[in-house]
Structure 1
């Protein structure tokens, strides 16, 4: 059973405060997820500031429109620097997603690093190569497009 890493970097012409406020709110997750994923946040954030131990629950349809329950926990938070969400229940054997934020001239740089593993051993590896890797890359590409449309292109 293989372990995979997905890394992405995006720069946006917004303040660190705005980037942090936007990304640390579960209320914005559906906006940056493609509609075909059927992403639905179940948790009520009540505009509570993100904190370690926070549980966020969703429905998602990653394959053939089959609705799955997904639960993540915010395990680490360094205000305006990074936060980590880890799957507690869902489609992966491992999901550890670190979101990094850094103020740069003219905006903010956001880096994502996702460590993940699929269930079912060699079959999971096959499914990763045929489908999951492309899907995850597409989700992050979609997110980049939505964020550029919402906040503008960095340097442009």
Structure 2
């Protein structure tokens, strides 16, 4: 139990959200005891995203996950960001450097802007994964209030859930 609590607080400490010019940036880092190739194989497969998304979000990929990742790939999802509301989300993989990074950007969905960088670096004993998400909410002041009361916590919950799932999946 103590080990789980320590892990939980360490996970939260490595995730930050900052605001600049109306754009929020979430950054999170995670070290996993796997090779760079194993990390790339898992994360470059869009079908694995469902495995590391909280079940309550009812995340389902509806197209685009059946091919290896490439720049220009369009992936569509159905998601429930909060109970009673479902929406479609369309992202495009805009950049890929095999084994090192890829970028997905929202083309249609709940955000006014979404730019997600997935970075992978081999380190002693494994790989360091960094997620950097720059996003903007629609609706001006209402969006800002939604971020303060709801969206910020939801994103932290999603990324902490992912970390927990990944630690469990790739533990030695």
1:80 aligns to 2:99 (yes or no): yes
For the residues of structure 2 that align with 1:18 and 1:86, how far apart are their CA atoms? 24
1:143 aligns to 2:143 (yes or no): no
1:64 aligns to 2:58 (yes or no): no
Structure 1 length as normaliser, TM-score? 0.94
Q: Structure 1 pair 30/94, CA: closer, same or farther in 2 (3 Å)? A: same
Structure 2 residues without counterparts, runs of 5 or longer? 1-20
| Residues 64 and 74, structure 2, Cα contact 8 Å, conserved in 1 | no
SS of aligned partner of 1:135: helix
SS of aligned partner of 2:63: coil
| Residues 52 and 162, structure 2, Cα contact 8 Å, conserved in 1 | yes
**What is residue 121 of structure 1 aligned with on the other side?**
140
1:16-44 residue CA offsets vs partner (Å, 9 max, x unmatched)? 00100100111101100000111001114
Structure 2 length as normaliser, TM-score? 0.86
Range moving further from structure 2, 9-18 or 58-67: 58-67
1:10 aligns to 2:30 (yes or no): yes
| Aligned pairs, number | 152
Higher-helix-fraction structure: 2
| Residues 112 and 136, structure 2, Cα contact 8 Å, conserved in 1 | yes
* Counterpart pick for 2:49 among 29, 40, 45: 29
For the residues of structure 1 that align with 2:116 and 2:84, how far apart are their CA atoms? 24
SS of aligned partner of 1:29: helix
Structure 1 residues without counterparts, runs of 5 or longer? none
* Higher RCO (C-alpha 8 Å, min separation 6): 1
After TM superposition, the runs of 4+ consecutive aligned structure 1 residues lying more than 4 A away are: none
1:96 aligns to 2:115 (yes or no): yes
SS of aligned partner of 2:37: helix
Q: Structure 1 pair 44/51, CA: closer, same or farther in 2 (3 Å)? A: closer
